[in-house]
Amino acid sequence: MQVYLDNNATTMTDPLVVEAMQPFFSEIYGNPNSLHKYGTASHPALSRAIDQVYNALNASDNDDIVFTSCATESNNWVLKSVFTDYIVNGEKDHIITSEVEHPSILSTCQWLEEEGVKVTYLPVNEQGVVDANIVSSFITEKTALVSIMWASNETGMINPIKEIGEICKEKGVLFHSDAVQAVGKIPVNLKDVHVDFISFSAHKFHGPKGVGALYIKDSQPLTPLFHGGEQMGGRRSGTLNVPYIVGMGKAIELATSDIQSTMAKIRSKRDHLEDELLKLSDTFTIGDRTNRTPNTILISIKGVEGEGMLWDLNNGQIGASTGSACASEDLEANTVMMAVGADNELAHTGIRLSLSRFTTDEEVEYTINHFKKAVERLRAISSSFAKQQPTKGGEVTEAELH
């Protein structure tokens, strides 16, 4: 059996999405900006995809949704353009974000600091959530933008986006939310919350990699990141990636059309998995389940290094993560666990399991069994376990090493 439990890193493209994209590679391949029939042939599918995205998010016709190459691009665009429009060419000098944002926000903010911008990195509480009142207390008349993720990729914890949006609206400050882990997992209703910008990415909800979007409320001005042939109303030049945009439309429709029942099914599998893993001694998970994306578990297993656990799970054909795959090449402690107050040892023991609508009951059972055995194996060889063993004294012999 093979079990993929790293759906917060990326998801399998739904075969129905691949099918919808297929005609737009070698059959309907004209440039949508061309005036001949080869170009215009893609227009009905593009319009449909745009409708699918607007409907899924309940966006208004006055809003803009601009397709990008990924959420990293959307995040860079909004931060760099707010910098240009409101800081370089305006009176502002300050941006507020949180300590636990994705690197596409944090690294961009670090670059902005080098350019002279003041950036406040808000802490999260022990639940891994940003407190709306803290956001309010840091806003000044110099604040250009608040950027707080909708849900965390590491913990799945959901921030109080409605409250933060209301605070930003009242104080006249722009509000951006990185909604990559929210769109397609939980309802995102843009008529219900006040956000100026959201970023999202198709490959997190069973669409293809390489296509994302930036939502811009009321089509407000924002200096483009790419200048060129004036595609997308001049907001993002470059020939439209027709098959991928069609794929994103299909994927968001599939992910959101019956989201309550899809969520309930994923949640019940996740809760069962979590309940079973928590039966192991000295384990804990981060964050209240009722305020978490229904597919995510971040679990800490005392005495078991995350990297070792990942290796053991991988040997059992289970794909998980010690945190964000984007950052997993360095073996540093999980920064999100540090932020929620876990001590250094625990912060090295975090394993993220993220399910999808394709995860089966059999896969969950297999994972529970393998996980429990892996913890036993790894605890048996861990240094903290060794410390509890009676010491024989003297040097370890060659035979004992094998």
The residue range among 131-139, 175-183, 262-270, 333-341 that interacts with ligand 7TS, by the rule CB under 6 A, is 175-183
The residue range among 242-250, 295-303, 310-318, 319-327 that interacts with ligand 7TS, by the rule CB under 6 A, is 319-327
Going by their DSSP bridges, the two strands 197-201 and 212-216 should be labelled as antiparallel
The single-letter DSSP state of residue 96 is E
Q: Closest approach of Cβ 350 to ligand 7TS, in Å?
A: 13
- Residue 293's identity, in one-letter code, is T
Q: Which residues contact 25 (CB under 8 A, 6 or more apart)?
A: 243
Whichever of 57 and 180 has its CB closer to ligand 7TS, that residue is: 180
Neighbours of 154 (CB within 10 A): 28
> CB of 206 within 8 A of CB of 254?
yes
What gap in Å lies between CA 382 and CA 320, rounded to an integer?
Answer: 20
What gap in Å lies between CA 55 and CA 253, rounded to an integer?
Answer: 8
Whichever of 72 and 81 has its CB closer to ligand 7TS, that residue is: 72
Does residue 199 sit in helix, strand or coil?
strand
Is residue 296 close enough to count as binding ligand 7TS by CB under 6 A?
no
The residue range among 70-78, 188-196, 308-316, 336-344 that interacts with ligand 7TS, by the rule CB under 6 A, is 70-78
The residue range among 81-89, 174-182, 213-221, 359-367 that interacts with ligand 7TS, by the rule CB under 6 A, is 174-182
Whichever of 338 and 375 has its CB closer to ligand 7TS, that residue is: 338
Closest CA to 368 of 360, 357, 358: 360
Q: Closest approach of Cβ 200 to ligand 7TS, in Å?
A: 8
Q: Which residues contact 391 (CB under 8 A, 6 or more apart)?
A: none
Q: State the sign of the Cα–Cα–Cα–Cα dihedral 50, 54, 59, 65.
A: negative
The residue range among 50-58, 91-99, 301-309, 318-326 that interacts with ligand 7TS, by the rule CB under 6 A, is 318-326
Q: Closest approach of Cβ 9 to ligand 7TS, in Å?
A: 3
| DSSP string covering 130-158 | --HHHHHHH--TTEEEEE--SB-TTT-BB
Size of the residue set binding ligand 7TS (CB under 6 A): 17
Q: In the structure, how many helices (H) and strands (E) does the chain have?
A: 16, 12
Whichever of 325 and 368 has its CB closer to ligand 7TS, that residue is: 325
Degrees, nearest 5: CA angle 324-326-332: 65
Is residue 42 close enough to count as binding ligand 7TS by CB under 6 A?
no
User: Considering only residues 184-223, where is the footprint of ligand 7TS by CB under 6 A?
Assistant: 201, 212
State CA 84 to chain mean position distance: 26
Is residue 130 close enough to count as binding ligand 7TS by CB under 6 A?
no
Is residue 149 close enough to count as binding ligand 7TS by CB under 6 A?
yes
Whichever of 8 and 262 has its CB closer to ligand 7TS, that residue is: 8
Degrees, nearest 5: CA angle 306-307-308: 95
Which is catalytic among the residues 70, 109, 168, 326? 326
Binding ligand 7TS (rule: CB under 6 A), the pick from 7, 324, 334, 367 is 324
Binding ligand 7TS (rule: CB under 6 A), the pick from 92, 94, 102, 176 is 102
> CB of 201 within 8 A of CB of 184?
no
Is residue 117 close enough to count as binding ligand 7TS by CB under 6 A?
no
What gap in Å lies between CA 105 and CA 126, rounded to an integer?
Answer: 22
Does residue 331 sit in helix, strand or coil?
coil
Q: Closest approach of Cβ 150 to ligand 7TS, in Å?
A: 8
Catalytic annotation on 326? yes
Closest CA to 212 of 68, 103, 72: 68
Whichever of 103 and 187 has its CB closer to ligand 7TS, that residue is: 103
Q: Closest approach of Cβ 401 to ligand 7TS, in Å?
A: 37
Binding ligand 7TS (rule: CB under 6 A), the pick from 12, 264, 326, 380 is 326
Is residue 71 close enough to count as binding ligand 7TS by CB under 6 A?
yes
Residues that bind ligand 7TS (CB under 6 A): 8-9, 70-72, 102, 104, 149, 153, 178, 180-181, 201, 212, 324-326
Enumerate the active-site residues: 326
